[in-house]
């Protein structure tokens, strides 16, 4: 990961955001990750314009079980290639979490984070320390760091790049 301090605007989602809400299955034929962001959250009630309004650096904040549902790397790619540098959630569905780590996409467990933000709040995340600040309200909290191996995989840019680096050592 290049930057350890991330700043952006919060996009807040609820609990149990499944992969069809993040990236609907009708777009699964799209194979170019750079084209996937245009379909992000198209079917999430109240966030249908996310793809048109999200700006690089904006941060997705969610409740419990983010990314539940089917295994779909598109749900990671659509946010990664939209320029969303990290997803913060109370908890992640195991399949989304593994897809994120394996594709070098940072996620941070932060129980209670969804209650700390409203859409549009300015947010700062220190990925090294896990400190999360709501710059709009002045509140802060700490997220839980990922395991060292997972952190190394994300820093390498994903599992394939991590394995390549280990093979050359």
Predicted confidence (pLDDT) per residue in 12-69, tens digit: 999 999 999 999 999 999 999 999 999 999 999 999 999 999 999 999 999 999 999 9
What is the pLDDT confidence band of residue 155, given thresholds at 50, 70 and 90? confident
> 140 by DSSP, 3-state: which?
strand
Nearest Cα neighbor of 44 from 75, 26, 18 is 18
Q: Residue 1's pLDDT is what?
A: 46
The β-bridge partners of 140 are 133
Name the superfamily (CATH) of residues 5-167: Aconitase, domain 4 (3.20.19.10)
Predicted confidence (pLDDT) per residue in 86-123, tens digit: 999 999 999 999 999 999 999 999 999 999 999 999 99
- What ranges do the domains of the chain cover? 5-167
Q: Are 28 and 36 in contact (CB under 8 A)?
A: no
Q: Are 11 and 119 in contact (CB under 8 A)?
A: yes
């Amino acid at each position: 990961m290049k930057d350890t301090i991330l700043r952006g605007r919060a996009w807040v989602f609820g609990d149990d955001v499944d992969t069809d809400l993040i990236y609907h299955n009708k777009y699964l034929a799209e194979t170019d990750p750079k084209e996937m962001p245009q379909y992000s959250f198209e079917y999430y009630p109240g966030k249908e314009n996310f793809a048109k309004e999200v700006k690089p650096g904006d941060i997705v904040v969610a409740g419990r079980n983010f990314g539940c549902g089917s295994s779909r790397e598109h749900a990671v790619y659509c946010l990664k290639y939209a320029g969303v540098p990290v997803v913060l959630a109370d908890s992640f569905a195991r399949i989304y979490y593994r897809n994120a780590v394996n594709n070098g996409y940072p996620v941070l467990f932060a129980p209670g984070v969804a209650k700390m933000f409203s859409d549009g709040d300015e947010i700062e995340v220190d990925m090294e320390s896990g400190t999360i600040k709501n710059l709009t309200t002045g509140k802060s909290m700490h997220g839980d760091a990922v395991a060292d191996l997972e952190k190394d995989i994300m820093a390498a840019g994903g599992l394939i790049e991590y394995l390549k680096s280990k093979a050359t050592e």
